[in-house]
Amino acid sequence: MSFLKIGDPKKRDLIVEEFLKTRRNIQENFLSERLGDISEQRELSKLFKPITESQKEVKESLLGELKPLRENLKDLPAAITFPQLQAIAAPPEEEDEEEEDVMRVGTIAHQYLSEYATKQNVDKTFGIYKNPIDKRYYIGNTPIDIRDDNLVVGNKEYEGTPGLWELIVSKYPDANIYRQEDLDNYAKILVQTSALKQRNNPAETQPKSSKSLKWRTILRQIWKDRLQYEGQGIASETVVIPSDPDALLDKLDLLFASKTAGNTGVRNELVGICDELLRQKVMSKSQYKNLMLRI
């Protein structure tokens, strides 16, 4: 709007006066709001000052703690690796180069060994375990090999059915999965590997009895019937181990000579004698470890 076009001087002066008054009001309101904001900011600064100061101190303290850590990191190796269980892989669909430290197994074995690796609801007393000395899988005192799904225990190969794997690995075997044939094979393996005996020692006369459901429903009966399974699995006769340390050492020499000559059926007796010598403290742990690597 142009004030010059207003012909009436009084009307023009009135409009100009209203315009100037409005402008002053806007300026005053703006100034008041600005001052109010500044005042509010000052009040907030006073209110939160203790918090901001403490945060500043915490930050400085953390930086002081992190500084020596950063210095120490420079001295660490480029990569840190942790020991792991042997990798378990299902059979490849195509022929590949075998990867180092990878066990190729069948689908059934892969399923149950994976459950064993997770340590969930698995039998840690009578089932499979990994020997920390030679890094092989064992049942009782005997190493096992896995061919596809089958289990090779000593000199005998057992069909790796879901039922047999269920009995060996599971803490609570599902009766709907295993059959009588699986149960018989399981009993042979337990008896011939001394897995039911204390310390897996063939010379022991006491079982690893427990209050577990598996012991009460399955293993107790196998222990009672163990005589009928001896000689049906790995060994052809019951292993008898003397208790006299001198006799044990003499027998150990003979068995090692027999094994060197190619007799592969003496391993159980060798392990049992070594276990007994270790128990009697005739053999040290380091000697035991070295002998286990040779057996």
- For the chain, first and last CA: distance in Å? 111
More confident residue, 86 or 145: 145
More confident residue, 79 or 272: 272
Residues 6 or more apart from 113 whose CB is under 8 A from it? 88, 105, 128, 146, 169
- Pairwise CA distance, residues 154 & 267, whole Å: 8
Give the dihedral of Cα atoms 142, 222, 182, 88; nearest 10 deg.
-40
Bridge-partner residues for 170, per DSSP? Answer: 122
Residue reference for tokens 């096992």: 144
Give the model's confidence band at 25: pLDDT under 50 very low, under 70 low, under 90 confident, else very high: confident
Please count the CA atoms within 13 angstroms of the CA of 101 that sit on its side-chain side: 6
State pTM to two decimals.
0.49
Task: Specify the DSSP element, H or E, that contains 163.
Answer: helix 162-169
- Pairwise CA distance, residues 256 & 262, whole Å: 10
- pLDDT tens string 6-20: 667 777 777 777 778
Task: Specify the DSSP element, H or E, that contains 86.
Answer: none
The predicted structure's pLDDT at residue 68? 67
- Pairwise CA distance, residues 107 & 91, whole Å: 7
Bridge-partner residues for 147, per DSSP? Answer: 150
Give the model's confidence band at 173: pLDDT under 50 very low, under 70 low, under 90 confident, else very high: very high
Q: Is the pLDDT of residue 167 over 60?
A: yes
More confident residue, 87 or 39: 39
- pLDDT tens string 88-130: 555 555 444 444 445 678 999 999 998 888 887 899 899 999 8
Give the model's confidence band at 149: pLDDT under 50 very low, under 70 low, under 90 confident, else very high: very high
Please count the CA atoms within 13 angstroms of the CA of 154 that sit on its side-chain side: 26
User: From start to end of the chain, where are the E strands?
Assistant: 87-89, 102-104, 128-130, 137-139, 142-147, 150-153, 156-158
